[in-house]
Every structure is written in C-alpha cells, then in structure tokens.
Structure 1
Amino acid sequence: MEPPLSNPRSPSDAVRGRARDLGVVIGSCGTGPSNAITDVPGVRVGHTTVRRPPNVHTGVTAVVPDLVGPHAPLPAGVFTGNGYGKLIGTTQLAELGTLETPVLLTSTLSAFRVADALVGWVLRRPGCEEVRSLNPVVGECNDGFLSDVRARPVLEEHVRAALDTASGGPVTEGCVGAGTGTVALGFKAGIGTASRVPDLGGRRFTVGVLVQANFGGTLRVLGRTLTPRSLGLGAGGPGAEADIGSCMIVAATDAPLDARQLTRVARRAVFALARTGAAYSHGSGDYAVAFGTRPDAAHPVADADLGPLFEAVLDGVEEAVLNSLLAATTTTGVHGRTVPALPADALIAALDRPAGRGPVDR
C-alpha cells in the first residue's frame, strides 16, 4: 500500500484549521473532547488513502462500532434525501432497523469490491465461523472529477487496513480515505466530523457525525453565502461537471434510541446539508445512516425529549461539512483538473465584514 502523497499547496492552503480553531462556532451545544464521531463511546474510525498522482485520488473510510456484528446487531436507521447513489445494504437496514457491520465509505465504482472485502473481514472475525447471511453497509461518492473512478483502485488490502487501524480520539479530516478526491460547494472537500453532547430530559448523551462531502451548491457559512469569486479565487471552480457526487453521512449516538427514532435522526442529518448550501441536485445521492451503540435500549429517550438531539445533529453536520472543506488542500487530479481549497483567511475576513458590504455574494 502506497503512503499518502502530498499535493502542491497553493496560497489558499496557507492557513488551515478546523472551524472552531478559526473561531467559527455553530450552535450553542457543547462538543465531546475530540469534536468527532469517535467521542461516542465504542466508535472508532480508520482511513486508507490511495493516491497515484495525477490520476488516482481515492480511498476508503471505516466507521467501526466496537459492539457491532452479525450476532449483535445495533439499532439503526437510514434516510435518503436524493437516491442517486449506491448505498449497499439499505433495504435490509431499513426493513429490520439493525446494523450488522461497520459502515464503510469509498468511491462509486469501488463500492462493490469494498462490500465484498467487508464481508470477508467480518467472516474471519472470532465467533463468525457459522455465519451464513450478512448485510454489509457501504456508501459511496463519485470522486471522478479528480480521480480515475474507472480504475477501481481500492483493493481488499486497503479495506482491511482501514478496518484494522480504526481508532478512537481525533479523526483525520480533509483529503484522506474516502474523501481524498471529493469536491463540494465549489471547493476541495473530503472527510469531516463533529460531535455534540445534548441534554435529553435531564440525561446527557453524545451524538457524533462523519461526512464524506462531495455535492454541489453554493457554500453558506453562518448564513452567509460565499463563492470562490467572493473569496478571491476568481470566477473559476470545478463547475457543473463536478456535481455528480453525493454526500454520505454517518451518525452515531450512545443515547438509548430505537430504529424508528434513529431514522428520525438520519433525516435531520440530511436536512442539515441545506444549511451548508447543498443543491440536492439530480446527480447527488444524499444519504444518512444513524446507529446507536446500545444493542438493547433500556429506558429509551422519550420522543418529546428528542428536540435537543435533533438540533445537535443539525449543528454537527453543518460543522462537519465545514471541517471537511477547511482541512482539505488544493488538489490537481485527472485530466489536469485543479480544485482549490477553501481559503480560511479569506473566509474569516468575509465573515467579519458586515452583511451587505464587500464582495460576499447574496
């Protein structure tokens, strides 16, 4: 497996950092210690990045709940905003309301190979010697604007490495794993994550989200519309051809929720993309999978107490998308196409300007 290779950096890459590092705070609810999906106890994340510049910029990202397995499924829900995508395992997950495997993210034409590799990895796990049915859950985004998607370069060893190296704590964001070649809202994007710790009826729980951002639209940050032109990058950008991609969202929580409630959580995760300026276009597959880490939800949260959790998911996804943009770096890919990074310094300057003044588009 080749190590990740760095891309030439542009002036827009000079200042990089997560949204909160730059003073951009979304919502009032507190975060977990890493502000990542891994703040949910028992959830780990692993990446394998596959790069062969200039033509290949792709990879695989694994979200691994420690307790999940064919004999110990976790409660889960799924929601489809726009169904132009290949979310493998959707029908059984929706029918039974359970998750049997880690959730893997990758490139469109690699999704089927990744699903097969995931099945092999699970079947080799202790206690799975007699398993005869398994529902792998694999999502994808089309990274074909920057990467040779037809090459299908994600192999079984890449999948195993992402699963075997998955860890807790801070999560690498931006041009890594399944986000290596993705583009969103006119800028280079990638993997982003965030967490919140809402109070639900007097009990505090953690909800974390991870996004693979690759969708069209016009960026909005804290309600301000921002384009490459308004941020000093000229009138260029990836254009309509890049709007072929999708957004995959994975949400996890230690709150005791059932599958119906987790489906409601998944809906809010997709709704949150509208805050970021998503266009939900014909060619964008917008999906969310939400799972709970408690196989048996004792003393479930009452529906009437779910409001703060829903708001936490909305805020978390909005922040995770912004983190995916701020962590990514300018990338030149297949056919010489270059997608600029979101310039953090120009972003902060634009947000500091009073509304209606300066070149902030409206």
Structure 2
Amino acid sequence: MRIRSLGVTPGTLPTGRLNAITDVPGVLVGHATLATGPVNTGVTAIVPDRYADGLPAAIAVGNGYGKLVGSTQVDELGVLETPVLLTGTLSVFRVADALLTWLMDRDPSAISLNPVVGETNDGYLSDIRSRPVTAEHVFAALDSASADLPAEGNVGAGTGTVALGFKAGIGTSSRRVAGGVVGVLVQANFSGTLTVLGTPVVPPVEMPVPEGNSCVIVVATDLAVDARQLGRVARRAVFAMGRVGSDFSPGSGDYAIAFSTSKAAAMREYELKEVFQATMEAVEEALLNSLTMAATVTGYNGHTQYAVPHELISRGLRPTPPTA
C-alpha cells in the first residue's frame, strides 16, 4: 500500500495525477529486477525524453561515501546528457558501461558521453560480490521505460535495499506547483528510526540492521529552473531525509540528482520557495512509499529484512484517548 492509503498525507501541496516522477511530462521510468534466492538487486532507469539535447541539472552531496558515476561533469557543466540509472554498489560500473553501449547504438557519431549512474549497497540481502547485473538487464530497464506509475518497493534498484529498520526499495511522489510539476524517485537504503509525520515507528522486535548504505534521490521538474537553482533544489531533497528519521550515518552515501526538462529563462529566486516546499514534501512521501510498498525478503546468507507492518503506522498516528 502507498502511504496515503494508510491515511498519511505529507505536506499540503497537491500531487500530480499519478503522484509519481512520471507526472513530469516526458520523464519515463523502467526497471529490471533480479530476485532469486541470494541475489536481490536490479536496475532502475529514469529516462527524460530530451536528454540528448542536454538538460539543466545539478547534484547535491549529503555525504560522499558513494560511487556516483558522472557527477563531476554534471557539477562542472550543469548539464545532464544521459538517462539516470540506479543499481547496487558493485554493479555500478557494469551498468555505466552498458548505458554507454545503449547510447552509442542510438548515436553512432558520439565520441563523448557522460553516463550518470547512482548506487546503494544492497549487500545485506544480495550477493553483491557476484555482480549479477548484466548489459541485458540495463537494456531491459531502459527499453521498458514508460510514463505509467512506476512500480515501487522491491523492484529494480530497490529489490535488496533496507531503510530505517525495515525492508525498503523504490518510492516515488510528485507535487504540482507554480504551473508545473516536481517529481521524485528514491532508492532508499539508509539507517535511522522511521518517523511518520513526526511520530517514531519502532520495529516490534529488535533485529540486526545494516548501518548506513546510502540513499539516491532523483528530482525531475518541468519548471524553468537553471543548473544553479537546481543545486539549491537538490540540497533540499537531501534535507528531507531528516523528516523520515535518517541518522545521516557516516557510512551512508546520500545524493540528490535534480534536472529540469525546461530550457526557458529561469524563474526569479523568490519564486523558488514553493519549489523547495514541493521537493521536500515529494521526497518525504517517496521515502515513505518506498517502505510501505516493500515486502519482507529473505536473501543472501539467510538474512531476513521485514517490511514495516502497516498497523504500526496506523496505530502510531491515532490520537491516544485521554485517561480518566
């Protein structure tokens, strides 16, 4: 169930039609999922339809303990020129290479491409050293990308991830603001105490939980914001992790990648206030969706990570009756 089905409505701004990153016109999402016993991993592709033209973009680093391929050129030029792919840590380089193959097949004249590939460490539930992701999985994620509501939870790059004491995965959300849409997709895999609208949700039994392990947030919009402004937006996306209880562990690589499909003249600075609000609300809801849409997994070395019991969230948000 998505978090709204449990009566939780983060923020005040209206959502897009699907309440997903694909509410941003021209943004597609595809997954390839590997879930076979000790292997629980995959690939998630976020594909803007005009990436080859170069889109305004920025990256914010909350904590740089990660392997985000392609980040320095985005920082330097403020441009995204490929789809954004997400996967498990030790597969990130194979995914980047496969993305290059996919791009070169579509542009025989290309001699310089900057693939952007993020990752989180899913080694608690997946045999990460086997590096099971192949070029065929990457091609499948890219070729299946659509404007439909993306699958969430245990799918694609979220198949083996864990966050805030529970099984997590992929989550998405959106907000309508200033005549456009801000859409978010997350790969949640970080530590802390799950917090829903300010209320901690503690696992019913204590269980071993991997520390750190990262979060990648992708923010897309059709609003007229330039690369510098997108840097400000991306930083707010990382800030929003605190709303759901992240402890920002030193072993967690926390990144936000923000891009716009618009090349119109940038809006004025004071107009960004609602864009910041939309970003933080959408990230908060996407992270909660990544948990409530996930299912319990028993994976590598027999490790089991349990999904959050929905009644824990519902019970925690009910007002306590007054005592006599």
- Structure 1 residue aligned with 2:32: 48
Q: Distance in 2 between matches of 1:37 and 1:89?
A: 22
**1:134-175 deviation line (CA, Å, top 9, x unaligned):** 100000000001101001000000000000000002110000
- Structure 2 residue aligned with 1:177: 156
Q: Give the TM-score normalised by structure 1.
A: 0.88
Change (3 A) 1:158 1:302: same
List aligned pairs for 1:39-118, cutoff 5 A. 39-53=23-37, 55-69=38-52, 72-118=53-99
- Structure 1 residue aligned with 2:103: 122
Aligned 8 A contact 2:212 2:248 in 1: no
Aligned 8 A contact 1:187 1:238 in 2: no
State the number of aligned residues. Answer: 323
Counterpart AA for 1:338: T
1:336 equivalent to 2:302? Answer yes
Please report how far the alpha carbon of residue 356 of structure 1 lies from its aligned counterpart in structure 2 after TM superposition.
11
**1:221-275 deviation line (CA, Å, top 9, x unaligned):** 00011110xxxx22x2233xx1141000000000011000011110000000011
- Structure 2 residue aligned with 1:326: 292
Secondary structure at the aligned position of 1:153 is classed as: coil
Please report how far the alpha carbon of residue 73 of structure 1 lies from its aligned counterpart in structure 2 after TM superposition.
0.5
| Counterpart among 179, 187, 192 of residue 217 in structure 1 | 192
- Structure 2 residue aligned with 1:269: 237
**1:316-339 deviation line (CA, Å, top 9, x unaligned):** 101000000000001111111111
Q: Distance in 1 between matches of 2:132 and 2:13?
A: 40
Aligned 8 A contact 2:201 2:312 in 1: no
Unaligned regions of 5+ residues in structure 1, if any? 1-16, 358-362
- Structure 1 residue aligned with 2:202: 227
List aligned pairs for 1:1-362, cutoff 5 A. 17-53=1-37, 55-69=38-52, 72-125=53-106, 128-199=107-178, 204-228=179-203, 233-234=204-205, 236-239=206-209, 242-294=210-262, 296-298=263-265, 300-354=266-320
Counterpart AA for 2:143: D
Secondary structure at the aligned position of 1:291 is classed as: strand
| Percent identity of equivalent pairs | 58
Q: Distance in 1 between matches of 2:147 and 2:280?
A: 23
Please report how far the alpha carbon of residue 345 of structure 1 lies from its aligned counterpart in structure 2 after TM superposition.
1.8
Counterpart AA for 1:23: G
Secondary structure at the aligned position of 1:104 is classed as: strand
Aligned-pair Cα RMSD in Å? 1.3
Please report how far the alpha carbon of residue 198 of structure 1 lies from its aligned counterpart in structure 2 after TM superposition.
1.3
Secondary structure at the aligned position of 1:306 is classed as: helix
Counterpart AA for 1:64: V
Secondary structure at the aligned position of 2:256 is classed as: strand
Secondary structure at the aligned position of 1:197 is classed as: strand
Aligned 8 A contact 1:187 1:237 in 2: no
Secondary structure at the aligned position of 2:160 is classed as: coil
